[in-house]
Amino acid sequence: MTLFEKIAARQIPADIIAEGSDWIAFRDIAPQAPVHFLVVPKRCIPRINEAQVSDEPLLGTLLSAAAATARQEGLGDSGYRIVINNGPDGGETVPHLHIHVLGARHMTWPPG
Ligand code: AMP
């Protein structure tokens, strides 16, 4: 099992803030903003580059879940950033697809 599958299965503790039948959202252990959480599919897709056409409904669910959880966290009006890191140059460290949601501070562009 991946680290995030273990979190979804409650084998590793995490600060879970929202959950659906096929996804889970929990706070990042090393937050890069005052609000920083991850939205993760319970079924492991290693990274977005390996997602299949058959994964498209789940990918849509994850984006909707990210926005709904951002609203739940009070970020709906102030705004937030959604990030998916893919592969070595993208900064991916956990090989289980996840959406970062960061907010409650102003984000700069371009990202580092
Ligand atoms: P990435 O670098 O895009 O693969 O993102 C992985 C993220 O997972 C990083 O922001 C880590 O801080 C976060 N992370 C790693 N382990 C845990 C954990 N046990 N609970 C919550 N977040 C974690």
Catalytic residue, candidates 36, 98, 100, 106:
98
How far, in Å, are 18, 27, 107 from residue 45 at the CA level?
20, 20, 28
Best CA proximity match to 59, nearest among 88, 87, 39: 39
- Would you state the pLDDT for residue 94? 98
> Residue 93: CB within 6 Å of ligand 1?
yes
**74 Rama class: left (phi>0) / alpha (psi -120 to 50) / beta:** left
The stretch 55-64 carries a mean pLDDT of: 98
Q: Is 100 part of the annotated catalytic residue set?
A: no
The stretch 7-17 carries a mean pLDDT of: 98
In the chain, the domains with their CATH numbers are: 3-103 (3.30.428.10)
Q: Looking at the predicted structure, is the pLDDT value of residue 112 above 90? A: no
The residue whose CA has the least distance to atom 19 of ligand 1 is: 29
Within 10 A of 39 (CB to CB), how many other CB atoms are there? 28
- Would you state the pLDDT for residue 22? 98
Q: Per this entry, what is the length of the chain?
A: 112
